[in-house]
Amino acid sequence: MTTQVCIIGAGPAGLLLGHLLKAEGVDCVVLERRAPDYILSRIRAGVLETITVELMERLGLDARMKSEGLWHDGFNLADGDRLIRIDMADLVGSRVMVYGQTEITKDLMDACDERGLEVVYEAEDVALHDVEGDAPYVTYSKDGAEHRVDCRFVAGCDGFHGPSRKAIPASVGKEFERVYPFGWLGILADVPPCNHELIYANHERGFGLASMRSETRSRYYVDVPLTDAVEDWGDERLWDELAIRLGPEAAANITRGPALEKSIAPLRSYVFAPMRHGRLLLCGDSAHIVPPTGAKGLNLAASDVHYASAALAAFFKANDHDAIAGYSDKALARVWKSERFSWSLTKLMHRFPEDGPFERAMQVAELDYIASSRAAQTSIAENYVGLPV
Ligand code: FAD
Ligand code: DHB
């Protein structure tokens, strides 16, 4: 098979990029290791920044998001009994959309046939070749047969563990990493949310987050030691812990229910630079990971894809090599700012095992400052709704 761009990975980054390229008249194909049902069973992010909403609007795939998603004007930081509301609408005149990554992915998948975006699911042994030259190609096997895709560019949208980043020689790239000493245990349940807005809580027993997918479906998280397993956390134990960490007011409104899904995600900050090598462009989790505090992972994948699709369209329409050359710096400038915000909110809202009274006093002082300063709240709000692309 021959195409202009071979996209590896059909997560949000790969599918968004595929649709954007198709809309620009650039030919592409997506190779995905998993089956569609498996991809749609992964419960991940839930908060969309303006850029992600705008990309779905640009593609004309925003109808379900607009009817089923929830606009949120604000969110809350809880510290013990104190609740600090960050009023994004008032502070920065913008808001976020609560709509699950699973739903975005479904909307993008459902539109593939109609828009002629070819996705090869259950593609095994995907391997990248000759990305340093002008004629790269990708090989894979499916149903026992070997296949080859000849292309002009490869887009590595294959998440943190995929083959794309590994195709860049260690001598060319640099890794920046911070691993955190806990993971987030998440529960999804068909119960009404305990609050109409999200609550991020810093409690002496640890972090808690009350989120939602709809008026009738809730998503909650607590941080747990990396040594804990999902089996250690029966539903009742988890609901009890959430009620403590989220504080008495939220606890009074928690409706308990059986878990539809429960999983533990480790927390990590990671950046690989540069995000382009020769004819290979990395987008999303293949190039960077943020800890989930701040809900930036999916949104960063969207902003990368925004830059990558523009660069690829400029190349194919106007032979603009500079656009390709500039992709990594453009994307990384925004990546680092989201990394900083996610890291700082993680530090502010979690109790680290190595922290002592001084570090706790710093958290309290910062929360006091945020509570009393419109400037501090504005900074948090502008980062949370998403910095400009
Ligand atoms: P992915 O969604 O990982 O998609 C990559 C795709 O590539 C996958 O479909 C994968 O199957 C495919 N792939 C991998 N290897 C190969 C291969 N060899 N060949 C072909 N295809 C391959 N973010 C938040 O903001 N909030 C959250 O609560 C949150 N929770 C998360 C929980 C977990 C367990 C994880 C892993 C991430 C979470 N994130 C969260 C982050 C967010 O989901 C990611 O940032 C987002 O999915 C990035 O999209 P992506 O398309 O770059 O990568
Ligand atoms: C959700 C996840 C996040 O990481 C976050 O910061 C807010 C909400 C969620 O899954 O709903």
| pTM of the predicted protein model | 0.97
Give the other-Cβ count within 10 Å of 317's Cβ. 12
Assigned token pair, 36: 């569609």
Give the other-Cβ count within 10 Å of 253's Cβ. 14
Q: Is 384 a catalytic residue?
A: yes
Q: How far is the CA of 311 from the centre of ligand 2 (A)?
A: 30
Catalytic residue among 203, 262, 296, 306: 296
Q: How far is the CA of 96 from the centre of ligand 2 (A)?
A: 12
Per the domain annotation, does 183 fall within a domain? no
Shortest-distance Cα residue to atom 28 of ligand 1:
45
Shortest-distance Cα residue to atom 16 of ligand 1:
162
Note the pLDDT tens digit of each residue in 111-136: 999 999 999 999 999 999 999 999 99
Shortest-distance Cα residue to atom 6 of ligand 2:
295
Per the domain annotation, does 327 fall within a domain? yes
Per the domain annotation, does 171 fall within a domain? yes
Give the other-Cβ count within 10 Å of 25's Cβ. 10
| Predicted local confidence at residue 81, as pLDDT | 85
Whose CA is closest to 151, among 309, 361, 4, 340?
4
Q: How far is the CA of 134 from the centre of ligand 1 (A)?
A: 29
Q: How far apart are the first and last CA of the chain?
A: 34
Q: Which stretches of the chain drop beneath a pLDDT of 70?
A: none
Per the domain annotation, does 31 fall within a domain? yes
**Looking at residue 312, which CATH number applies to its domain?**
3.50.50.60
Per the domain annotation, does 105 fall within a domain? yes
> E strands along the chain, which residues?
5-8, 28-31, 47-48, 70-72, 74-79, 82-87, 96-98, 118-120, 124-129, 137-142, 145-150, 153-156, 174-189, 199-203, 206-212, 218-225, 261-273, 276-277, 280-282, 288-289
Name the helix (H) or strand (E) containing 377: helix 374-385
Per the domain annotation, does 107 fall within a domain? yes
Per the domain annotation, does 237 fall within a domain? no
| Predicted local confidence at residue 21, as pLDDT | 98
Catalytic residue among 72, 277, 306, 330: 72
Q: Which residue type is seen at 234?
A: G
Whose CA is closest to 108, among 33, 50, 6, 21?
21
Q: How far is the CA of 218 from the centre of ligand 2 (A)?
A: 11
Asked whether this complex has an ipTM greater than 0.85, the answer is yes
Note the pLDDT tens digit of each residue in 306-344: 999 999 999 999 999 999 999 999 999 999 999 999 999
Q: Which domain holds residue 28?
A: 5-45+100-176+269-345
Number of domains in the chain: 1
Instruction: Verify whether ligand 2 is closer than 6 Å to residue 328 (CB atom).
Output: no
Per the domain annotation, does 142 fall within a domain? yes
- For a mutational test of ligand 1's pocket, the pick from 101, 207, 267, i.e. the residue with the most ligand atoms closer than 8 A to its C-beta, is 101
